[in-house]
A and B are shown apart, each in its own frame.
Chain A
Amino acid sequence: MNSEEIAIQAKDFSAWYGEFKVLKNINIEVPTKHVTAIIGPSGCGKTTFVRCINRLHELTPGAKVSGDLMLYEKNIYHSDPMKIRRTIGMVFQRPNPFPTMTIAGNVMAGYSLNSIRLKSSDYRDILEDSLRKAALWDEVKDKLNKFGSELSGGQQQRLCIARAIASKPKVILFDEPCSALDPIATGKIEELIRELKSQYTIIIVTHNMQQAGRVADYTAFFMLGELIEFDQTEKVFTNPAKSLTEDYITGRFG
């Protein structure tokens, strides 16, 4: 796996909520334009880790970090957090389209919220392109001016993916994107993630090990704030190096 170009690299990276150390000296190299899954029992720090990558973690009072986190060899914590967040998109656990915005407005929110004005031809191009990449264009092209909350849960989640794509990020973080969706909607999101990896580096946090097996090229296993194992998904699931990993994936705890 060292032959791949590295998108995100953590060096002795730790994170705290107040006095509580949630992440302990994480070292990981996430390869570019692949899907990397992060699995592990509840409270293992997997969500905190992705929230550190786009610097949402620091918005929690009392949160702090140490060590280095690099995005294509640029230190994320030496950059402007607002720029970092535009470069690293995020899709949340529950679909969260903005209820006051139309479908089109939601997709383009990354521009309006940053007070970026676009030529109307650019606006339309980005809007259609993002919705197509999120596999939603055909379903919503006739109701772009309706409110996003009219859509089904699965459609709303794809709308949120389109919203992340529209800002032209390099990396997209998925924080348990299917935990609120039914199996059919889940299937669509997973298919979409597999398609998106040709253009974006994807990190997906998931509780569901089958999901990691279906979508991820690489899998990282976190436990109690430590990175236990990180390798190709196939290897982690069939021939894990650590006994802890094996215990977890065979369901002995978790």
Chain B
Amino acid sequence: MRKIKNLIMTVMISLATLICLIPLFLLLYYVIKMGISSINLDFFIKNPKPMGEIGGGMLNSIVGTLIVLGMASLIGIPFGLATGIYLAENKGTKLAEWVRLSTEVLVGIPSIVIGILVYSWVVKTMNTFSAFAGSIALTIIMIPLLARSTEEVLLMVPNTLKEAAFALGASRWNTQRMIVMKTAMGGIISAILSSIGRIAGETAPLLFTAFGNQFFSTKLFRPISTLPIQIFTYARSPNVVQNKMAWAGALLLVSMVLLLNFSAKWISQALVKRSKN
């Protein structure tokens, strides 16, 4: 009887796991199937052609995404890391609890709300949609995510290492910098990469901040095209060629996110292995 129960539970749990994996594989399969045919050299090095003309690529959106992501990371990483360090170092204090609560609330806010906020703060005041506004919106999404995962990673560093450093007369700053951060480096890098992966595909907050641009632009204070927005535009287009382009863009975006997540995992494992032997 016990054996039968055991078997039934094992089968059920394995089945549930399998069902969880199916959407992921279906998604990958479908995106690859629909997108791969439009991926060629032109896709990466050419700008979009006007509707109706054959050919062209998504260079402007690829570059735009890199610019917006780059700028968002540039602002978001220092703030996210600093907040994470603060949370880990001041566990239990009132301010830290408030900060932790705020990060939780921020993570839960729908990203379109953050888009509206940045629209009224940045776009309205500067009187133009811009790459900068898009980056700010993404930064606001990134900071609480990165702060929380940084905190978790830092708390995994054994307290005995910190005490060993203090016992050698090290200052708090040197202990944090040379012992805690170094020991947690793998986890910190993977937290950074995962948080970039998380904002890479955000569409809603970019709709009325970065807005989109038919043309190639690298100007920070002008509207800029990004992959998610371009996919959105092309997918709604009545034009079959543009629909196909949307799938190709989706394939590229999914690959980017997967690459970020896999390298995050790989880097943290490599660093853990190194510190173990």
Interface of A toward B, CB cutoff 8 Å: 54, 56, 59, 61, 82-86, 89-90, 92, 94, 96, 98-100, 109-110, 112-115, 147, 149-150, 160, 163-164, 167
Contacts and interface: CB of A to CB of B under 8 A. Distances in A.
B175 interface: yes
A96 B164 contact: yes
Given A99-B275, A100-B275, A109 B183 contact: no
A112 to B, nearest CB: 7
B174 interface: yes
A86 B161 CA distance: 16
B54 interface: no
A110 B163 contact: no
Interface stretch (B18-26, B165-173, B251-259): B165-173
Interface residues of B, number: 24
A62 B216 CA distance: 59
B168 to A, nearest CB: 4
B124 interface: no
Contacts of B17: none
A81 to B, nearest CB: 8
B168 A86 contact: yes
A109 to B, nearest CB: 6
Listed from nearest, the 5 A-B pairs whose CB atoms lie closest are: A86-B169, A113-B170, A90-B167, A99-B275, A85-B169
Nearest to A166: B168
Interface string B240-277: 00000000000000000000000000000000001111
A164 B179 CA distance: 16
Given A96-B160, A96-B164, A113-B174, 4 more contacts: A61-B92, A112-B178, A147-B274, A164-B167
Chain B interface main SS type: helix
Contact of B168 (A99, A110, A115, A149): A110
Contacts of B179: 98, 100, 113
A164 to B, nearest CB: 8
Given A113-B174, A149-B276, A56 B182 contact: no
B238 interface: no
A61 B166 CA distance: 15
Interface in B89-133: 92
B163 A114 contact: no
Given A94-B160, A99-B183, A149-B276, A113 B167 contact: no
A61 B89 CA distance: 12
Contacts of A89: 167-168
A90 B163 CA distance: 10
B52 interface: no
Contact of B277 (A98, A147, A164): A147
Contacts of A147: 274-275, 277
B166 A59 contact: yes
A84 B169 CA distance: 7
B50 interface: no
A46 B36 CA distance: 69
Nearest to A112: B178
A85 B275 contact: no
Contacts of A164: 167-168
A56 B178 contact: no
A160 B164 contact: yes
Contacts of B175: 113
Nearest to B158: A96
Given A98-B179, A100-B182, A147-B275, A85 B164 contact: no
17 contacts: A59-B163, A59-B166, A61-B92, A82-B171, A85-B167, A85-B169, A86-B169, A96-B163, A99-B161, A100-B185, A113-B174, A114-B169, A147-B275, A149-B275, A149-B276, A160-B164, A164-B168
Count chain A CB atoms within 10 A of each CB in B166, B169, B174, B183 and give the residue with the most: B169
Contacts of B165: 98, 109, 113
Nearest to A146: B277
A112 B170 CA distance: 9
B214 to A, nearest CB: 49
A56 B160 contact: no
Contact of B163 (A92, A109, A167): A92
A212 B149 CA distance: 45
Nearest to A116: B169
Contacts of A115: 174
B272 to A, nearest CB: 10
A56 B163 contact: yes
Nearest to A85: B169
B97 to A, nearest CB: 14
Contacts of B169: 82-86, 110, 113-114, 167
A100 B183 contact: yes
Given A100-B183, A149-B275, A92 B168 contact: no
